[in-house]
Amino acid sequence: MTRHLLIAGAAIAALSLAACGQPADRSATAPAESVTPDANPAATVPTMADEASAPDFVRLAAQNDMLEIQSSQMAVERAQNAEVKAFAQMMVDAHTKTTRDLKTAVEATGQPLTPPTTADQEVTDELNDLRETAAADFDKAYIDLQVETHQKALNLMQRYAGDGDMPGLQAFAAATAPAIQQHLDQAKALQDRLANAT
């Protein structure tokens, strides 16, 4: 009986060794099929994770400032409410400063990064929509845009301050976020006052 067990054990061991010599499953080692890039332009919009990279952060921060400055210059000319007009002038001044500070922070990194100086399609579309707004609806449309844009900017600054890949730019984002929060709060208060006035 013991002899039969020994023979059976030896046979199992031999089969196991033979199996080890077999090539591995080819499907596990086959190269992955090439993936065709998504042709949808929306697929190129940065995700939250992408915004932690310096080039995306710099581009988005610069585009935000352009939207703030140019929409606010329009509001300085077109707004009918005195508070809205004053807020718009404050935004022109504040975001002109932020643009300068961003450029200084980028230069201090020593990296080949250049903030864009022309508006992208999204900013251009927002400005065109505001430009085409009827005079009676302009103040509300401008302030609604300010609330939306400042919320996006605040999210961007807070994310980069926490997860960014360049300490100098992280410091800029952290220093800029409180001012953007203040602008957002002011814009929301104006939004409420305009809503109550109607």
Q: Is the pLDDT confidence value at 3 over 60?
A: no
Spatial CA neighbour of 54 closest among 141, 122, 115 = 115
Task: Supply the pLDDT for residue 96.
Answer: 97
The three-point CA angle 70-81-131 to 5° equals 35
Q: Is 132 helix (H, G, I), strand (E, B) or coil?
A: coil
Question: pTM of the full predicted structure?
Answer: 0.74
Q: How far apart, in whole angstroms, are the C-alpha atoms of residue 35 and residue 195?
A: 50
Token representation of residue 126: 């927002």
Q: Is the pLDDT confidence value at 178 over 80?
A: yes
Token representation of residue 117: 């100086």
Residue 88 CA, chain-centre distance (Å), reads 24
Q: Is the pLDDT confidence value at 40 over 60?
A: no
